[in-house]
Amino acid sequence: MKVRELRDYINNLIEACEARSMNTRKLVQALLVVVILVLGISGCKRDGVLSGLKYLKEKAKAKGRGADGQRVELAMSKWQNRTLDPEPILITAGINKPTGYEDMYIGMFTFDEDVDVLGLGINEEYTDVNGIKTTVTEEYPVFVHRMKPEVVDLRLFPVQIRDAGQRKDKQRWDEYIKGKGIEVKEVRRLKYWRETLPPVWVSIPEPNTVKVYVYIYDQAGHKSEPIKLLTSDSTPVSVRKGLSFHDILALKKEITID
C-alpha cells in the first residue's frame, strides 16, 4: 500500500469515528502520525539499501567481475519494483585466510528482501585423472541461531578445508540446531557464534580438478543461484583471483544500511 493510499484509508477511519468519540478520533490521528513516521524510516532504509547496491555495482565493474555486476543489477531491480521478493541473491563469495587469523573464512555479500537467510549451500565437483566426475552437495544452517542478514549484508564465518574427503557431521549439526551444548542467547555475540559453530567443510577450488559453487537458502526453502567461490591472494591455491578479505571489509565500511 502506498503512503497516499494508507493516509486516505486512515482518514476514512477518522471520519467514521468522528460521530462516536473525540478520544477515538485522537487515537486514530496519533496512529496516522506513527504510520507516517514508520514509512519515513522505511524510506531511509530503502535509500541505504540502494546506495549499498550501487556501490557494489561500481566495485564489480572496477574489478572486472561482470557476473557480480549482473547479480547486483538483479537485486536493484527487485528492490525497486516495490514488491517483496522472497528469493535471496548471493552477489559474491570468496574464501581467504586473513592475516593474523588461524582459520580460513568465507566472506559473502547477500541480498534478501525478507531477511530470513538460514544458511549456506556448498556444491563441489571433482574431476580425477581419468576425467571421471563426482559431486558433493551439503547445506549448513550457519545462521539458525544468529540474527539474519540485513537486506544487503556482508557475512564472514570460519570454515574448515576439505582436504581428505571430510563430510558434514549431520549429528553435530542436528544438535546445534536444537541448541544442545551451546548458550543460544549468547550466539548473538559474534565471537561466541564463530567459536561454537560446527565445522563447515569446503574445498579450495583448483584449476581443472575442483570446482566449488556456493549458494544461500532461507527458512522457506528458497535458494539463490549457485555461484563460483572466489579465491584471493592469501589463499593457498595455484590460481588466485577474486575477493580479498581486506577488500570485503573495506566494502563493509562503505556500505551503511540505516
Residue that is written with C-alpha cell 526453502 in the block: 221
The reply to whether 118 falls in a domain is yes
> From CA 230, how far away is CA 22, in angstroms rounded?
63
The reply to whether 52 falls in a domain is no
The reply to whether 175 falls in a domain is yes
The reply to whether 198 falls in a domain is yes
The reply to whether 56 falls in a domain is no
Q: In which domain, by residue range, is 210 found?
A: 84-254
State if pTM tops 0.85: no
* Domain count along the chain: 1
The reply to whether 6 falls in a domain is no
Per-residue pLDDT of the chain (258 residues; tens, 9 = 90+): 444 444 454 455 445 544 444 454 444 444 444 444 344 444 445 678 888 899 889 988 988 989 999 999 999 999 999 899 999 999 999 998 877 777 899 999 999 999 999 999 999 999 999 999 999 999 999 999 986 668 998 888 899 999 999 999 999 999 999 999 999 999 988 889 989 999 999 999 999 999 999 999 999 999 999 999 998 644 433 223 334 444 444 444 443 332
The reply to whether 60 falls in a domain is no
The reply to whether 181 falls in a domain is yes
Contacts of 7 (CB under 8 A, 6+ apart): 32, 36
